[in-house]
Each structure stands twice: as C-alpha cells, then as structure tokens.
Amino acid sequence: MSTALVTGASSGIGAQYAVQLAALGYDVVLVGRDRAALEVVAARVGESGRSAEVLAADLTVPADLQRVCARAAGDDISVLVNNAGVGTPGEFVASDADTEQAMLDLNVTAVMRLCHAAFPGMLRRDRGAIVNIASVAAFTPSDGGPGYSASKAYVAMFTESLALKAHGTRVRVLAVFPGFVRTAFHPRLGMDTSWIPRWAWLRPEDVVRASLQDLRAGRTRSVPSARYKVAMALARAVPRPLLRRVLATSTPHIDRA
Ligand SMILES: NC(=O)c1ccc[n+]([C@@H]2O[C@H](COP(=O)([O-])OP(=O)(O)OC[C@H]3O[C@@H](n4cnc5c(N)ncnc54)[C@H](OP(=O)(O)O)[C@@H]3O)[C@@H](O)[C@H]2O)c1
C-alpha cells in the first residue's frame, strides 16, 4: 500500500498534490490546521477511489509536529510532500519577531523534522520520495521578505543535500521552486499583487504536474514553467552586486513568491 503525506493540503498547491497523487494511485494523509477545508480535499481524493486521512495539526506547535512526524515515520508512507509554508506580512524592519519566528518554525523546522522522521525509513526500504516546496525566492536576496527568502534557501540546500544521501538508491528527493502561483498565499498576507504581470502567474495544478514529472524523471530540482526557468537562469547569471542593486531599487515585494 502506498501512501503520500502532504502538508498544507487544505488549499493551493498542497490540495493539488493531494488530488494529483490520489489520481496516480496513492492514498493520502492530509495535514493542515483547517479541518473543514481538509475534509473538502478528502472528498476530492475520494473521487479517485483512494482513501484520505485528515490529520489536523498546526506544524508550529511542537506537540502537533511530533504527532505528524510519528505518522510520517510510518512504513506505509512512500511520499512526503513538505508543502505547508507562509510568508510574513509587510517589511522585516517593521514586523513582529514572533511572526518571523513562526514562519521559520513552519518553513524550516517542520520541513527538517518531517524529513528526519520519514527519510531513514525510505532509505531502509529503498523506496520512496521526498518533495520539498522551496520558491524562486530562494535564488535571490529579498528586501521585502528576507526571512522568507532565507527559509526557502534553507529548503533548497537541505533538499539537495538529502539528495546526495539518496544517490544510488531508489529514493527520490526533489526541491520545487515555484514562481508566483494563484493560491491563498498572497491574500493571506494582504499583499497588493496588482503590479505583478499576468504572464508571471502560474496555476497550482500546472506547478504540481510539472514537479511530479520532474520527480518521475529523477531530477533533484524542479522549476515549473519555461518562463521561470529562463528567469532563474538569468538571475543566476547576473553578477550578485548588480542583482542586489536592481532588487534594492525595485518593489520590496518583487521576490515574495
Ligand atoms: N503561491 C505562491 O506564489 C508561491 C510561490 C512559491 C512558493 N510557494 C510555496 O508553496 C507552498 C504552498 O503555498 P500556497 O501557495 O499553496 O499557499 P496557501 O494556499 O496559502 O497554502 C498554504 C498551506 O499551508 C498550510 N499552513 C499554513 N500554516 C500552517 C501551519 N502552521 N501548520 C500547518 N499547515 C499550515 C495551510 O493550511 P491551514 O491554513 O489549513 O493550516 C495551507 O494548506 C508554501 O510553502 C509557499 O511558500 C508559494
């Protein structure tokens, strides 16, 4: 029996992982705080004939995180999708330090702990996959959201390093780098997104489909869509001092994806 555990499965990209993995034949464990929203996703999973287990948990609460880690360590878990993540509203210099900390608890600590729970068993069984959702924000410094970009840079490096350990096994490890995706992410932050051009927006279903294709192809990094592949290649090619100058003079939210 193959089961996928998806965090942040109540909306956006995570809900799409749940639905698409169910369509591929996986039973799904759905993790998030909003039980009612998870039940809605569970019903969609059920339409594929797969079972959905709702695990309501706040991953920034240590006891909840421990409960989810215990589930992620189960022998039946063959896919772990660390998708739950948040940004912080407004500027770092004016933000509340506890809110910044809660973001790191979710975006960094929960990802590390869940991988720590699930990865050894996958290696032992020589079977499984870990998919960690980073962001294109991991590639560039950020004036508007330094903590968010840094948290996603952690996810990127951590995931690529786990992939070294999985090399030569049948365990796959993938970091996903979405650009702007139309989900509840920006509305939750109260962000004005009117300046973002239409071409820059991706659909969650396309992001998930592309990442699962990359997972099947055995890749370690997935940058969904050709436009973001080009943008990220350019960002890497531009000398860092020039990149910083451009970012410092552009909108503070430009890299909050
Ligand atoms: N949207 C974008 O433009 C974009 C771009 C790049 C990367 N990403 C990344 O993609 C991932 C998914 O975001 P999304 O765009 O799909 O946004 P979303 O629709 O807001 O989904 C975020 C998910 O995280 C869950 N979550 C938030 N806080 C949680 C907590 N304390 N404990 C457990 N679950 C929690 C939410 O569920 P509950 O509210 O039920 O807890 C929700 O299911 C995030 O890691 C984000 O950083 C998004």
Q: Where are the domains of the chain?
A: 3-249
The H-assigned helical ranges of 29-110 are: 35-46, 62-72, 97-104
- DSSP H stretches of helix in the chain: 12-23, 35-46, 62-72, 97-104, 111-125, 146-166, 185-189, 204-216, 226-237, 240-249
* Ligand 1 pocket, residue 8 CB under 6 Å: yes
Angle at the Cα of 153 from the Cα atoms of 152 and 159, rounded to 5 degrees: 90
228 CB within 6 A, ligand 1: no
17 is a catalytic site residue: no
For the Cβ of 12 lying below 6 angstroms from any atom of ligand 1, the answer is yes
Q: Cα–Cα distance between 257 and 134 in angstroms, integer?
A: 10
Best residue among 5, 7, 11, 132 to mutate for probing ligand 1, ranked by most atoms within 8 Å of CB: 11
Task: Tell me, in angstroms, the distance from the centre of ligand 1 to residue 85's CA.
Answer: 4
b/e for 130-158, b at 16 or more Cβ within 10 A?
bbbbbbbbbbbebbbbbbbbbbbbbbbeb
Residues with Cβ within 8 Å of 224's Cβ and at least 6 positions away in sequence, in order, are: 176, 177, 178, 179, 202, 206, 207, 210, 211
Place of tokens 């896919």: 79
Tens digit of pLDDT at every position of the chain (257 positions)? 699 999 999 999 999 999 999 999 999 999 999 999 999 999 999 999 999 999 999 999 999 999 999 999 999 999 999 999 999 988 899 999 999 999 999 999 999 999 999 999 999 999 999 999 999 999 988 877 899 999 999 999 999 999 999 999 999 999 999 999 999 999 999 999 999 999 999 999 999 999 999 999 999 999 999 999 999 999 889 999 998 888 887 754 444 56
Strand partners, 32: 56
**CA 77/CA 186 separation, integer angstroms:** 31
Q: Which CATH number fits domain 3-249: 1.10.150.120, 2.40.37.10, 3.40.50.720, 3.40.50.1950?
A: 3.40.50.720
